[in-house]
A and B are shown apart, each in its own frame.
Chain A
Amino acid sequence: MIEVRDLQVRYAGRLVAGVPELDVGAGECVAIVGESGSGKSTTLLSLLGLTENADISGHVRVCGVDVLTASPRRLREIRGARAALVMQSPQSALSPATRLGVLMRRALRLHGVGSGKDGRLDEIMAESVAAVMLDRAILRRYPHEISGGQAQRFAIALAIALGAEVILADEPTSALDVTVQAEVVGVLRRLREERDLALLLVSHDLALVSTIADRVLVMKDGEVVESGPAARVLTEPSHPYTRELLEALP
């Protein structure tokens, strides 16, 4: 679903993210780990063409679309509908004056999901919310009236409602309490199994990564220093930086 070759993202000539190879298939979960500033979020955003003022080179295919050469219109068609983004700060990622249901309805209409007058729209909305174990009443709420965990699960519900095949999650749990983290991770893992979603996860939390990822990329200062199956990278790291990260774990 995601295919990256020789991706290089530069701001004002400076390389902030370079990824030689990254593939995520349906039902797979790949994690990019690294500390703040390592370029992992930039990599994620560039997959949807959401980096502003950046020079990007290489080849990026997401759901069969060549992101770097696609027209803005084509890009907007895959955004949300096929590849959805889940952001780090759950509440500030939702428009403050818009009820969650209104946001979801607008997004569905935009991509022509559940159109027609047979009431499919409401059905889809209800199903997606139920799939992330939220109450339907949440659709009538404003972002400031819900908790961070609820907001994050709602963001996932948006992806489900739109029928996304890929979820790009940028530190989806780092702003949450430990117990709530487990909920969100649970939802992600279940969806991946049930719906065969491709999941690309950016995180600095190795504990989280070890529970969910199949493969891991370790980034430092904009470059991938190590990559491989999660089980190997996290147990027998070959790069000193990965060892450092692992030793920092409690």
Chain B
Amino acid sequence: MLRYLARRLGQALLVVAGVVVLTFTVMRLVPGDPAVAFAGPKATPEELDAARERFGLDDPLPVQLVAYVRDLVTGDWGVSLHTRQPVRDDLYLAFPASLELVGAALLIAVVVGIPIGVLAARYKTKFPDFGVRFGSMLAVSVPVFWLALALQLLLAGRLDWFPVAGEYDSSLDTTSPLTLWTNITVVDALITGNWPILTSTLHHLVLPALVVAAYPTGVIAQMTRATLIEESGQDHARLERALGFGETSILTKFALRPALSPVLALIALVFAYSIVNGFLVEAIFNWPGLGSYAAEAIRSRDTPAIAGVTLLVALVYVLANLVVDVLQGFLDPRARTR
């Protein structure tokens, strides 16, 4: 198990190195002079030189790459062109809100996706299966930004069931201010017992989380269904039938646990995908996460900020994959010896 972990960790580091090089390359593709972008169009030649000096733009590319890596490692992720703040600080503020949104969405996806996957597998080729297949296919095919607008219009605008935008009612900041610990509002409100903010945040969270949950729910349902059906066609399912177990208990008692392993791997993939999908949703709901930050950065062509977001999400993705591999070892005993 340890050796397996070490090998996995080595692979992950290799990927991270590649990701850094890739981000660097993409940043250097920018047409135009980054120094101009930073110093502004009205900058004097001296100011431009100073900017060039500061970013080391006159050095050869390999030197620049080394400097870039050194800066990243020492925590200097550059300065955002639109907020004029260090990118690292911006990300530090924005990431927890994204985590909150995606976490809620994945929770919905697992709680809904796995049971309906089981349902479809139990009644395969019958009506429930047809419904689940159709619904999950719709869920993975829907453009999130459009779903966000539609739900916002219907459930928040017309029916007024949920607030239109924001993370919580901002007037609460004065009546019951929140003490920050993790920067994840729900968690902070919970540990400090700030109920007004907690309920307000949960209320605001429902719509964006539902939208982000659409894709993962669909994929998890499809995957659960497919792996369960495959498991229930295995030899061991026949033995379980021969022991007198019914179809439902074969699925839930025996097939579900091994089937969860691929589903778990899927969640890691979908986690990163959902963060990026959140980019399209957060701005619509004015959710103060990476997505809103990235949307603003995209609008102002803020390369350091984009690079920072890209790098962070890629790192999270690599990490999520690593965590899943370890978890799989616990869930599926065969994976340990592989």
CB–CB under 8 A between A and B in the complex? Answer: yes
Residues of A within 8 A of B (CB): 48, 50, 76-81, 84-85, 87, 89, 92-98, 103, 106-107, 110-111, 142-145, 155, 158, 162
B245 CB within 8 Å of chain A: yes
Closest to B258 in A: A97
In chain B between 233 and 267, which residues have their CB closer than 8 angstroms to a CB of chain A? 234-246, 249, 253-255, 257-258
Produce 1/0 per residue, B69-93, CB < 8 A to A: 0000000000000000000000000
The answer to whether residues A93 and B238 also contact, given A98-B254, A144-B334 and a CB cut-off of 8 A, is yes
Closest to B257 in A: A97
B333 CB within 8 Å of chain A: yes
B331 CB within 8 Å of chain A: yes
Name the contact of A87 in the complex, choosing from B235, B254, B331, B333 (C-beta under 8 A). B235
The answer to whether residues A80 and B257 also contact, given A87-B239, A93-B236 and a CB cut-off of 8 A, is no
Closest CB in chain B relative to A172 CB, distance in Å: 13
Closest CB in chain B relative to A101 CB, distance in Å: 14
State A143–B255 Cα separation when bound (angstroms): 14
B332 CB within 8 Å of chain A: yes
B337 CB within 8 Å of chain A: yes
When distances are taken between beta carbons in the complex, the residues of chain B under 8 Å from A158 are: 243
Please name 16 pairs of A and B residues whose Cβ atoms are closer than 8 Å in the assembled complex, sorted by A.
Answer: A79-B244, A80-B242, A87-B239, A89-B235, A92-B234, A92-B236, A96-B333, A97-B254, A97-B257, A97-B332, A107-B243, A107-B245, A110-B243, A142-B334, A144-B333, A155-B239
When distances are taken between beta carbons in the complex, the residues of chain A under 8 Å from B253 are: 98, 106
State A142–B235 Cα separation when bound (angstroms): 16
Instruction: Give the 10 A-B CB pairs with smallest separation, nearest first.
Output: A80-B243, A85-B242, A79-B244, A80-B244, A95-B254, A92-B235, A97-B257, A93-B239, A95-B236, A97-B258
Q: Is B238 in contact with A87, judged by CB distance below 8 angstroms? A: yes
Interface Cβ pair total, 8 Å cutoff:
79
State A92–B231 Cα separation when bound (angstroms): 11
When distances are taken between beta carbons in the complex, the residues of chain B under 8 Å from A89 are: 235
When distances are taken between beta carbons in the complex, the residues of chain B under 8 Å from A144 are: 333-334, 337
Closest CB in chain B relative to A95 CB, distance in Å: 4
Name the contact of B235 in the complex, choosing from A81, A93, A97, A110 (C-beta under 8 A). A93
Name the contact of A81 in the complex, choosing from B244, B332, B333 (C-beta under 8 A). B244
Q: Is A84 in contact with B254, judged by CB distance below 8 angstroms? A: no
State A84–B240 Cα separation when bound (angstroms): 10
When distances are taken between beta carbons in the complex, the residues of chain B under 8 Å from A107 are: 243-245
Closest CB in chain B relative to A38 CB, distance in Å: 20
* Other A-B pairs, 17, CB within 8 Å; known A79-B243, A87-B235, A97-B332: A50-B238, A50-B241, A79-B241, A79-B244, A85-B243, A87-B239, A87-B242, A92-B235, A95-B237, A95-B240, A96-B236, A107-B244, A111-B244, A142-B333, A144-B337, A145-B333, A155-B239
